[in-house]
Amino acid sequence: MSETMAELSLTLSERHTADFEMIGNGGFAPLTGFQGSADWERVCAEMRTADGEYWPIPITLATDLDCSVGDVVELSSDEGKKLGRITVEEIFERDVKREAEQVYGTTEDAHPGVAAIYEEGSRCIAGPIEVESLPDHEDAFMRRYLTPEESRKAFAERGWKRVVAFQTRNPIHRAHEYLTKAALETCDGLFIHPLIGKTKAGDIPADVRMRCYEVLMDNYYPQDRVILGVNPSKMHYAGPREAVLHAIVRRNYGCTHFIVGRDHAGVGDYYGTYDAQKIFDELDLAELGIEPLKFEHSFWCNECEGMASGKTCPHDSSAHVFLSGTKVREMLGNGERPPQEFSRNEVADILIDAYKED
């Protein structure tokens, strides 16, 4: 960051750059800027903005920039691109321990979301932003980039009334394919909307995931009933609360339904397997503006001879094809394809090649 007599400027972190983009492109509506203390307080305590609208995770701009209320600060992305500016309406101190406890359910810095807010610090500036441009992304992402306004238009052009969104930060394996197609049975269209912002170390790179999505779309989904977009937001790993944020974002993109599966947006053992589904039972879905579709863990069953879940399969786990993430990574690293019952060969080949490049 730098400061001159004529102009205050701030280079945003990668995480704050993603937040700027989501505010600027409309994905974080109703937010029009970085949140202040009143919003922070109520979001942490009640999952609502100061104005009373559902919002589950504070979107704040933590910085030690020497500035005052009323200042206009020029903002650049983490890569140095000029994005716009923020008018400082408030400077405040957030209680990061309290935010960790209320939003993430833990104060342990082993949790990646908690570690991130601890690293950012407590001092925040708040105020509306003006957008001149959005951050740059790789070509593979930009050709799939849709703003909320553009996705709504795309759905309308196709005559879709019921649109289901699928959030993912991983390649789509057979289990994901099964539940997206099950949801598509009752909806007009499917919006595959992978997150391309910052994830934690060890997650599969976004460009590799994009190739996996595209090969599946080309071979296993009806072309006229599915759209692949990209979500430039970052991961918080906030489990239940992040599931609500993901739903709100997809509502803003024009979706009417949202798939919530096992351990949605979770990490480690911090959340129960279906906590991200249960949280929606506490919300007024009409007010939220989007309906969750809750799916149990799905798998290939050798006895059923097909994909199934605990709701549809009567057989015990000995008949189920299940591989841990560790086992899958081990196989891919050795150039071995996981069983076709777990992953399509085309997807496995892309992942094997990516592991070779590493």
Return the closest-CA partner of residue 125 out of 191, 60, 179. 60
H or E segment to which residue 348 belongs: helix 345-357
Q: Is the dihedral of CA 163, 195, 30, 99 positive or negative?
A: positive
- Residue found by looking up tokens 């995931």 in the block: 209
Name the one residue in this structure whose structure tokens are 């692949």.
228
- In angstroms, the Cα distances linking 287 to 69, 168, 264 are 34, 25, 22
Label the pairing between strands 226-228 and 298-301. unpaired
Measured between alpha carbons, how far is 234 from 245 in angstroms, rounded to an integer?
A: 11
Catalytic residue among 85, 94, 169, 344: 169
Give the C-alpha separation, 256 to 289, whole Å. Answer: 7
Residue pair 33/130 in contact (Cβ under 8 Å)? The answer is no
Measured distance CA(318)–CA(304) in Å, rounded: 12
Active-site annotation holder among 98, 158, 162, 170 = 170
Cβ contact 35:250 at 8 Å: no
302 among known catalytic residues: no
Bridge-based pairing of strands 8-11 and 33-34 is: unpaired
CB 245 within 8 A of CB 195: no
Report whether 257 contacts 293 (CB < 8 A). yes
Dihedral angle at the C-alpha atoms of 150, 156, 161, 162, nearest 10 degrees?
-30
252 is catalytic: no
Phi first, then psi: what are they for 204, rounded to 5°?
A: -70, 135
| Residue 221 dihedral angles phi and psi, to the nearest 5° | -125, 145
Per the CB < 8 A criterion, the answer to whether 197 and 124 are in contact is no
Q: Which residues are catalytic?
A: 169-170
